Amino acid sequence: MEFKDKVAIVTGAARGIGAATAWTFAKRGATAVIVDINGEGAQKVAADIQAKGFNAIAFTVDVSNTEAVDAMVEEVFQKYGHIDILVNNAYISGGYAIVTETSQETWDKVIAVNLTGSFNFAKAVAKKMIPQKSGKIINISSGAGTSGSLSSGVQYPASKAGIIGLTLGLAGDLAPFGINVNCITPGLIRTWEPEEMAKQATGWTLEKVESYIAVEVPLKRVGEPEDIAETVVFLASKAASYIVGEVINVDGGGVIDSVAKRESLLGF
C-alpha cells in the first residue's frame, strides 16, 4: 500500500472531512492520528478504524493551545520516530452575524482555531519534517476564503483566507527541505445529516441547499467528505511530488460561470 508505515496527522477528524480523510489514509496503509477537541468522537473514529484491522490512534487536543499541540506532536514523534503527513482540517464557523454585531470573542475564537491552530500544527510538525528532508502538509481552507460567505459572518472567510496565505508562506519556507505544502478549498460538502440541518440556525435548509446546487454547482450534486479526502491523499502521494503552494478548488465546478448561473441570474 502506498502509505505503508507513514504517519498521517489529521486535525478535526472526529467527523466529516477529517474522519473521511483519516479513514482513507488508514485504508492505504498509514497510521492515522486522529486529532479533535471532541475526544469521545476522536476515540470512536480511531476504534472503528482499528476494528477493521487498520492503524489509528486518537488525541484530544485544542488546536489553538500551542503547548498542547507541541506536546502531542512530540508524543507522536517519540512513538513512531517520524511524521510524514499533516492535514490541517480543524475549524469552527462562529455562526452568522453582521459585522456590527460580531463579538470580539467570536472573532478571536474563530481565528484562534482555524488560522492559529493551523499555524501551531504546521510549526510543530515542520520541526520534525525538516531534519527528515521530507513531508506533506495539506491545509483545508474553503471557497469562503476566496469569495466570502453570506452565511458565516466575517470571521470565517477571514480565517479561511488566512489559511491560503499561510499555505503560501509555508510552501516557500519548507520546499527547500523537501516538504510539499498545498491547500484545498472545498465547496459545499455534506458534513451534516438532514435532521441536523433542520436544527441549525444558519438559515440553510435542505430546500435552500438544493436551490444552491441547481444554480451554483455545474456538477449538480453536493460534495461528499470522500471527495476532499481523495484530493488530500493525492496531494500527500508521490504523484504530487512536484506540486507546491497550490490552492485547489474541489467544489463541483462552483467557481465556473456556468450555463445554470447565467440562466438564473441573467435570464438566458
What pLDDT digit, counting tens, does each position of 95-114 carry? 889 999 999 999 999 999 99
Task: Tell me: pLDDT of 223 over 80.
Answer: yes
Higher pLDDT, 231 or 209: 231
Task: Return the C-alpha cell found at 258.
Answer: 456556468
Question: Which burial class, exposed, middle or buried, applies to 105 when counting CB atoms under 10 A from its CB (0-12, 13-18, 19+)?
Answer: exposed
d(CA 205, CA 197): 6
| pTM beyond 0.85, yes or no | yes
In the residue annotation, 156 being an active-site residue is answered as yes
Among the ranges given (37-41, 91-95, 172-176, 232-236), the one the predictor scored with the smallest mean pLDDT:
91-95
Per DSSP (E only), the strands in the chain are: 7-11, 31-36, 55-60, 85-88, 135-140, 179-186, 247-250
Q: Are 45 and 19 in contact (CB under 8 A)?
A: yes
Share of the chain above pLDDT 90, in %: 75
Domain 7-191+223-254 CATH (choose: 3.30.530.20, 3.40.50.720, 1.10.8.640, 3.30.1490.100): 3.40.50.720
pLDDT the model gives residue 254:
85
What pLDDT does residue 95 have?
87
Is 120:64 a contact under the CB 8 Å cutoff? Answer: yes
Catalytic hit among 80, 91, 96, 156: 156
Contact in structure between 106 and 116 (CB atoms under 8 Å): no
Average pLDDT over every residue of 206-211 = 77
Reading phi first (left if > 0) and then psi (alpha if -120 to 50, else beta), residue 95 is in left
